[in-house]
Copies of this chain bind each other. A is one copy, B any other.
Amino acid sequence: MAENFGPAHAPSVLTVDLGALRRNYRLIAERTGAAECAAVVKADAYGAGIEPVSRALAAAGCQTFFVASLDEALALRTLQPAPVIYYLNGLMPGDTAVCRAHGIRPTLNDPAQIERWTADGIAHGEALPTALHIDTGMARLGLTPRETAALVDAPDRLRGFDITLLLSHMACADTPDHPMNVEQRDQFEAAAETLPAAARSLAASSGALLGPAWHFDMVRAGVALYGVSPHPGHLNPMEQVIQLQGKILQIRDVDTPQTVGYGAAHRFERPTKVATVAAGYADGYPRSLGDAGVAYFGKIAAPIVGRVSMDLITIDISKALDAKPGDMVDLIGPNNDLDSVAAAAGTIGYEILTRLGRRYHRRYIETVA
């Protein structure tokens, strides 16, 4: 898509508060004390925009970034020449030359990747700096316990072993009392002790805020940087970073027995003032918010009526007597934060964030606490 041409014409506006982002980074960094606080900026910085987000985090002191793929690592390297960059998806065939050329660190997730890395290290006379991922229960990426044991039992496979980071990933860190948290930590610690010494990292955002026992040498702050609650159901210590506003295109008076939208799914029971707003599921406002989400006109709630369309939603704005076409309503804002919008949509803040569409006019601001 071409760039949109400015806020005056923009049907909807996504505001990203880089000041709040930096304060969120510092809050996690303070709570994790001596451990390094790295930042996860995969998926275009969770939808918030890799360029401004990585710049703001680097300015806040972040020295290590994590992304998902080598593609993302390369894109980030063009923006940030200095920091350490790891990618998590694993060392694929052909990756090593790219990593060496651009100073990017892969993650080794399975024995074939270790062999690939070892062969490359022998060929070049020195090992590529890399992370080794030990799976402790996600069963997604990383060495299985059997593979880890086999590695320890075969010292020749450790030849040239110069791992810079041992990492694992927690499955249930958003639930502080989940027994798996302690199990994963114990398993990670035990495995790390059998392997050559390296910096250790277990926790992402939620784990980082579980307490010092989860910090090890590095935490990888991710979704909490962007305002999502690290422990849903508990007080959210993070500031909101994202505000999403949609423009009212039209307002109409309707009454029973009229319906609105596709499938005639919503039937009015009483005289209602309906505003049509320029945002829909193509913009990442989930279709599951039909007859479930709530927009706000200032402090006045304006529930979604009917289905979410591709480019439009309709809201009951009866209580906002002075609302008019051209005014903006909050789709994500002070009264309907990311987590509450996600809950209404039947999903999690992570998914709302990473779906944030491309049609919004994006505005980056820097608030002061």
A69 at interface, CB cutoff 8 A: yes
A140 x B261 contact (CB < 8 A):
yes
A343 at interface, CB cutoff 8 A: no
Tell me whether A93 and B354 are in contact in the complex, defined as CB-CB below 8 angstroms, given that A1-B75, A262-B172 are known contacts.
Answer: no
B359 x A259 contact (CB < 8 A):
no
Residues from chain B with a CB closer than 8 A to the CB of A144 are 252-253
B90 x A250 contact (CB < 8 A):
yes
Tell me whether A71 and B10 are in contact in the complex, defined as CB-CB below 8 angstroms, given that A172-B264, A287-B348, A310-B42 are known contacts.
Answer: yes
Residues from chain B with a CB closer than 8 A to the CB of A252 are 110, 135, 139, 144
B-facing residues in A319-369 (Cβ within 8 Å): 325-326, 346-348, 350-351, 354-355, 358-359
B310 x A43 contact (CB < 8 A):
yes
B5 x A71 contact (CB < 8 A):
yes
B93 x A326 contact (CB < 8 A):
yes
Residues from chain B with a CB closer than 8 A to the CB of A78 are 2
Among A156-164, A185-193, A273-281, the stretch that binds chain B is: A273-281
Instruction: Give A251 Cβ to nearest chain B Cβ, in Å.
Output: 8
A50 at interface, CB cutoff 8 A: yes
Query: What string of 1s and 0s marks CB contacts (under 8 Å) between A101-137 and chain B?
Result: 0000000011010000000000000000000000101
Tell me whether A11 and B69 are in contact in the complex, defined as CB-CB below 8 angstroms, given that A250-B110, A346-B288, A359-B43 are known contacts.
Answer: yes
Chain A residues proximal to chain B, CB less than 8 Å: 1-2, 4-5, 8-11, 42-44, 46-47, 50, 68-72, 74-75, 78, 88-90, 92-95, 98, 109-110, 112, 135, 137-141, 144, 171-172, 175, 178, 180, 249-250, 252-254, 258-264, 274, 276, 278, 281-282, 284, 286-288, 306, 309-312, 314, 325-326, 346-348, 350-351, 354-355, 358-359
